[in-house]
Amino acid sequence: MRVGLEAFLLLSAVLFSIGVYGAVSKRSAVQVIMSLELISIAVMVNMVAFARFVTPDRGTGWAFTLFAMVVSAAEVGVGLALVLAIYRRRHTAELPELDELKG
Amino acid sequence: MDWILAIPALPTLSFALLLVMSRQVRMRMLWLPVASIFGSLILSIVAFAQVWPGGSEEAIWHAGWEFAELAGKPVDLSVALDPVAAVMLLVVTIVGAAVQVYSLGYMHREEREGWYFAVLSLFTAAMLMLVLSDSLLLTFMMWEMMGLCSYLLIGFWFENEGPRKASQKAFLTTRVGDLGFLIALFAIWGVVGSFSYEEVLHTVGDWPAAVAAVAGFGLLWAAMGKSAQVPLQVWLPDAMAGPTPASALIHAATMVAAGVYVVARMLPVLMVTPWIMQTTLVVGLTTALLGGLLAAVQHDVKKVLAYSTISQLGLMFVALGAANAEVALFHLTTHAFFKSLLFLGAGVIIHAAHTQDMRFMGGLRRHMPITTVTFTIGSLALAAVFPLSGFFSKDEIVATLLHEHHYVSAGVVLLASLVTAFYVARMLFRVFTGPEQTKHLSEGHMSMLAPMSVLAFITLVLGFASPTFANFLGGHGVWPDPFVAAISMTSAGAGLALGWWFYGRRSAVVNTAIWKRRLGYAYDALAQKLYFDAVYDHVFIRPFMLGATLLAVFDMRRLDGFVNLVAATWVRICTISWRVDVTAIDGVVNGVASAAKGTGSWMRGLQNGVIQRYQRLVLGAVIVLVLVVFMVKGV
Amino acid sequence: MPNTVDGIAFAILAISMVGGALGMVSSRNIVHAALWLLEVSVAAAGLYYLLDADFIALVQLLVYAGAVVVLTVFTVMITLRRREDAVRPVDFSWPALLLALALGGILLAAAANFPKKTISMPDAMPSIVRFGELLFTARGYALAFEIASVLLTVALLAAVWWSREVED
């Protein structure tokens, strides 16, 4: 059995949807950030697959994957630090309780 | 030569800069107007050197811009530099610079000092532009600009009733005169189709007699308003409500002289019609004599100077009426210097004595030596005492009149100069001699005395330039004829002696009540300013007010009745509409309101601050957008 | 051989990834969720290896398995006051599910409609040397790489700043 680009796209679509579900539904800030990581993994799977199947001779897709990793690593670092800071001030990391934007 | 435009441009620039500053910043930027006037002064000296030695009326520099087009003909605003303009530039910038330096001391710590300097700069710019102007339209514009500045400066202390009323009176009275200028402009445009001085003066011989008369009289009337000639002299004494240095510049040296200047320029237009020249002469003589007599009964030192200005301007009109523009301009020049000197001196005296009333002054000579010397120089020049500048210029007027065989006029002028010498002596003796009536008299500040000393020096020496001056302007300069000089000196000496006899004798306690009683009606008439104000009040102002009252009554009885009827009808209509309103329209409005309220409370739920609710909204929106794209593109 | 992707290997990796992701969002214990994320990351690295991206696979292991998950677990540990707090109530949400399904549907539709039906992989492959040249030369992505390093430094500083102790 041989699989092509479509299989990778389908897999990444499923992962992306699961990540979106987690990001939208989870109450814990940490879990939301983990879901965001899932989304970025889905994106990277997509990029590596495209790089291999569509532009195999240039490595551009790899480079972008690398940068995407950098960005998501930075995002995780800052995001978790923010969660920590919020937790220290408010003694909670539950998103529904952090409703200071309420108008 | 276009740098000459910088002469009026510098003060304009400083006005523009001061205008946009705040009051506090202006206070610290006072060097700006002073620097700009000194810049103009230096440029004026250079311009004068370029024109030297003069001797012709040809302009050595010309510039013009098309301002508008009227019936296919271009309306030009043009400027030119000729000997007359060069002399006037010097006069205006020297007096202007002296006044500005003096004002630094005089207006010190005045709250709106910056504004004062700004208006002074604007005024200087307007006067310089008027002097350079080679187009009647530009002249008229600057003429009005000066009127505005005069209004602003007379009303400088607008918190007080007096200055406010005086500024309105000055503005409205000169406006009556300006009407003449406008009519003259219309007439001249009608026949010449240009406002250029050159074209107007070259074609004047071909004009229809009626047009020449209208234009000539219009110009004369305008000049009478600006130069405060009888019967339009009433505004100038009241204008003394403004700051004294501003009076020195505007109401003694420059603006009031603008009338004389414009008539001197346009003299050929007036000369076409003989009766206008006679009118000029008569107006000048009347003003010279009446102004002097009125000055002799004033107690306020500034009013004395104001009436004396009126009287001296009358003498210039006499010279114009005798068709001798050079003499008029020479008297204008000498008068500008010694009269501004007198006003500046009066400012120092008022500051020291804390009053303007001469009856409460006295003995200032011992405490204020520099002021005494400079003020006396100015006063004696005013009284036309040899060898001061006033003597030479007044002597030339008398000589001109005798030469033209106007013997009666010459007699009136001599009488006027006798009266002048009398009130000069009265002023000097009352202010500087006699017992002291004020404590703590002290000399003025250096910044005030220095400009006065400069002006006094000019007054001392300028007379000897008399023939040169006339030659420079293109006339024939001569030294005074000893015979004429003797006559005018006699009249001046008689006036001074009379003044000494009344006010200066050591034995005489200054008490003139007995003379006032003996002169009876004559004194009363003078004290009431010859009833001019009263007559204007009865003839113009009261009927105007009465008319206004009648109109107001008509307004209330007739117009208001109609208005009330309309209103009552409207009220009835409104009552009907109110019923419709309550039942039908309010229902709709309330429905809309409650719908809005419902939407609002639903929308409020969106703003609950839970971040994931927002996230869902965003995602939903993205999905909708993508679906829309799919539908449009057909996947 | 490596002109195609082996179906069996792909199936194993794909199933473990989807399963791990589902486990992550459905797990009640937050520590377990973090471990499921670790599993997904490792499977993703395997997938990259399958696609001949050895270097990316390595970086994926280092960054995700080594750094991100560890950081997450670390944060979880700090924000838990008691051990029992790790177990959370089920927070299932219908709107979220609907949204995720709608988005997934759209993505699947888009993927299924991808015009190029590619099964076999082209031969040409950049070597790790060429990739290095691409990444570190001025004609390649050297500038972007430097910017990324600045971004990481800023993120590091921000993380340190925000996670400092505050007294209030």
Q: What 3-state DSSP class applies to C113?
A: coil
**Chains that contact C by 3+ CB pairs under 8 Å?**
A, B
- Pair of tokens at residue B380: 């004696």
Among the partner-chain residues C56, C71, C154, the one whose CB lies closest to the CB of A76 is C71
Round to whole Å and give the CA distance between B394 and B313.
11
Q: Measured between alpha carbons, how far is residue B54 from residues B91, B147, B196, B283, B525 in Å?
A: 17, 31, 21, 32, 48
Residues B611, A101: C-beta atoms closer than 8 Å: yes
Burial class (CB in 10 A: 0-12, 13-18, 19+), B339: buried
C72 touches chain A (CB under 8 A): yes
Lowest mean pLDDT among B99-103, B106-110, B302-306: B106-110
ipTM of the complex: 0.89
Closest CB to A23 among B604, B608, B615:
B615
**Which of C:94-133 have CB within 8 Å of B?**
95-96, 99, 102-103, 106, 109, 113
Band of pLDDT at residue C120, cut at 50, 70 and 90: low
Question: What's the average model confidence in pLDDT over B319-338?
Answer: 92
Mean pLDDT of B457-470: 88
Cβ–Cβ of A24/B619 closer than 8 Å? Answer: yes
Q: How far is B28 from chain A (nearest CA, A)?
A: 50
CB contact under 8 A, A96 and B616: no
Between B352 and B524, name the one with better pLDDT.
B352
- Of B44 and B437, more confident: B44
Fold of A5-97: Helix Hairpins (1.10.287)
Domain ranges for chain A: 5-97
Find the closest chain C residue to B615 by CA distance: C96
**Nearest beta carbon to residue C99 from set B623, B627, B630:** B623
Q: What pLDDT does B88 receive?
A: 93
Higher pLDDT residue, B111 or B457?
A: B457
- Residue from the list B607, B610, B616 with its beta carbon closest to the beta carbon of A95: B610
Cross-chain Cβ contact B623/C96 below 8 Å: no
Longest CA pairwise span in chain C (Å): 64
Across the interface, whether the CB atoms of C109 and B626 are under 8 A apart is answered no
> What is the mean predicted confidence (pLDDT) over B281-310?
91
Quote the distance between the C-alpha of residue B421 and its chain's center: 26
Asked if C95 lies within 8 A of B616 by C-beta distance, the reply is yes
The candidate with the shortest Cα–Cα distance to A21, out of B537, B464, B97, C25, is C25
Query: Considering chain A, what percentage of its residues have pLDDT values greater than 70?
Result: 95
Kindly determine whether residue B610 and residue A99, on different chains, have CB atoms separated by under 8 Å.
Answer: yes
| Packing angle, helices A29-53 and A60-90, rounded to 10 | 180
Smallest CA–CA distance, residue A56 to chain C, in Å, is 5
Contact C99 B620 (CB under 8 A): yes
* Residues in chain A closer than 8 A to B609 (CB atoms): 98-103
Cα dist from C72 to A80, B360, B465, C119, C156, whole Å? 7, 97, 102, 37, 15
Across the interface, whether the CB atoms of A99 and B615 are under 8 A apart is answered no
State how far residue C126 is from chain B, nearest Cα, in angstroms.
34
- Chains near A with 3+ CB pairs less than 8 A apart are B, C
Residues of B in contact with C102 (CB under 8 A): 623
Q: Would you call A101 an interface residue with chain B, using a CB distance cutoff of 8 Å?
A: yes
Quick count: other Cβ atoms within 10 Å of Cβ C130?
Answer: 14
Query: Are the Cβ atoms of A25 and C4 closer than 8 angstroms?
Result: no
Closest-CA distance of chain B to residue A103, Å: 5
Domains of chain B by residue range? 275-527, 532-581
pLDDT (0 to 100) of residue C168: 55
DSSP string, B364-426: GGGT-HHHHHHHHHHHHHHTT-TTSHHHHHHHHHHHHHHHTT-HHHHHHHHHHHHHHHHHHHH
Please judge whether A30 and C71 are an interchain contact, meaning their C-beta atoms are less than 8 angstroms apart.
Answer: no
Collapsing DSSP to helix, strand or coil, B479 comes out as coil
Do C106 and B623 count as a contact with CB atoms less than 8 A apart? yes
Q: How far is CA B75 from CA A17, B192, C141, in A?
A: 80, 12, 69
The residues near C26 (Cβ < 8 Å, ≥ 6 apart) are none
- Residue C60's nearest CA partner among C51, C52, C68 is C68
Q: What is the pLDDT of residues B61-89, one digit of tens each?
A: 888 888 877 777 888 889 999 899 999 99
CB A13 within 8 Å of CB C105: no
Q: Which residue of C16, C61, C162 to mutate against A (max A Cβ within 10 Å)?
A: C162
The answer to whether C27 contacts chain A (CB < 8 Å) is no
Bridge partner list, C87: C29
Token pair of B605, please? 């739920």
Question: What confidence score (pLDDT) does residue B344 get?
Answer: 93
In this structure, are residues B352 and B420 in contact, taking their beta carbons and an 8 Å threshold? no
8 A C-beta contact, residue B227 and residue B149: no
B166-199 confidence digits (pLDDT tens): 888 898 888 889 999 999 999 998 888 888 888 8
- Bridge partner residues of C6 (DSSP): A2
* Chain B touching partners, 3 or more CB pairs below 8 A: A, C
Smallest Cα–Cα separation from C102: which of B59, B131, B589, B627?
Answer: B627
Instruction: Report the alpha-carbon distance of residue B555 to residue B423 in Å, rounded.
Output: 52
Q: What is the pLDDT of residues C4-23, one digit of tens each?
A: 667 888 899 999 999 999 99
Is the pLDDT at B588 greater than 70? The verdict is yes
Which amino acid makes up residue B86?
A
CB nearest to B616's CB, from C99, C106, C109: C99
DSSP letter at B556 equals I
Task: Let me know the angle formed at the C-alpha of B361 by B360 and B364, rounded to the nearest 5 degrees.
Answer: 160
Using an 8 Å CB-CB cutoff, list chain A residues near B610: 95-96, 99
Residue among B235, B254, B36 nearest B155 (CA): B235
The larger pLDDT score, comparing residue C133 to residue B222, is at B222
Which among C96, C103, C113 has the least Cβ separation from residue B635? C113
Best residue in A24, A27, A30, A82 for a mutation probing chain B (most B CBs within 10 Å): A24
Radius of gyration of chain B (CA): 33
Q: Do A70 and C72 touch (CB under 8 A)?
A: no
Mean pLDDT of chain A: 86
CB B452 within 8 A of CB B102: yes
Provide, rounded to the nearest whole percent, the portion of chain A with pLDDT above 90.
31
Overall average pLDDT of the B567-573 stretch: 84
pTM of the model: 0.62
Confirm if C73 and A33 have CB atoms less than 8 A apart: no
- pLDDT bucket at B221, cuts 50 / 70 / 90: very high
pLDDT of C164 reads 79
Q: Rounded to whole angstroms, how far apart are CA atoms B345 and B380?
A: 14
Residue C84 makes CB contacts below 8 A (sequence gap 6+) with: none
For A:27-86, CB contacts with B below 8 A are: 32
Q: Cβ–Cβ of C106/B626 closer than 8 Å?
A: yes
Query: Pick from C7, C91, C154: which is nearest to A3 by CB?
Result: C7
A50-54 long-range contacts, CB within 8 A, separation 24+:
A50/A5, A51/C51, A51/C53, A52/C51, A52/C52, A52/C53, A52/C121, A53/A4, A53/A5, A53/C118, A53/C121, A53/C122, A54/A5, A54/C116, A54/C118
Residue C25 tokens read as 């969002």
Query: B519: which 2 tokens?
Result: 């002169």
Which B residues in the span 589-628 are in contact with A, Cβ-Cβ below 8 Å? 604, 607-612, 615-616, 619
Task: Give the chain B residue whose CA is nearest to the CA of C103.
Answer: B623
| Residue type, position B235, single letter | W
pLDDT at C1: 41
Dihedral, CA of residue B305, residue B310, residue B312 and residue B317, to nearest 10: 170
More confident residue, B77 or C113: B77
- What is the phi/psi pair of residue B133, to 5°? -60, 140
Q: Do B627 and C109 touch (CB under 8 A)?
A: no
pLDDT of residue C124: 65
Q: Is B347 exposed, middle or buried (0-12, 13-18, 19+ CB in 10 A)?
A: buried
Averaged over B267-273, what is the pLDDT? Answer: 91
Chain A nearest-CA distance from C83, in A, is: 15
Quote the pLDDT of residue B373. Answer: 92
**Å from A55 to nearest chain C CA?**
9
User: Which residues in chain C have Cβ-Cβ distances shorter than 8 Å to A85?
Assistant: 162-163, 166
Specify the residue for token string 């609950």: B608
- Confidence label for B376 from pLDDT (cuts 50, 70 and 90): very high
C-alpha distance across the termini of chain C, in Å? 64
Residues of chain A with Cβ-Cβ distance to C79 below 8 Å are: 30, 83-84, 87, 93
Is it the case that residue B477 has pLDDT exceeding 80?
no
If you write DSSP's letter for every residue of B194-256 in order, what string do you get?
A: --BHHHHHHHGGGS-HHHHHHHHHHHHHHHHHHTT-TTSTTHHHHGGGS-HHHHHIIIIISHH
The secondary structure of C63-103 as a DSSP string is: IIIIIIHHHHHHHHHHH-SSGGGGB------HHHHHHHHHH
Question: Which percentage of chain B shows pLDDT scores above 90?
Answer: 38
Average pLDDT over residues B6-15: 92
Question: What's the DSSP call for residue B73?
Answer: E
Summarize pLDDT for A35-75 with one digit per residue, the tens. 999 999 999 999 998 888 887 777 788 889 999 999 999 99
Q: Which residues contact C143 (CB under 8 A, 6 or more apart)?
A: none
Q: How many CB pairs under 8 A join A and C?
A: 246
**Residue B511 confidence (pLDDT):** 61
In angstroms, the CA B555 to CA B339 distance is 50
Nearest C-alpha in C relative to B626 = C106
Q: Which domains are assigned to chain C? A: 2-123 (1.20.120.1200)
**3-state secondary structure (DSSP) of residue A8:** helix
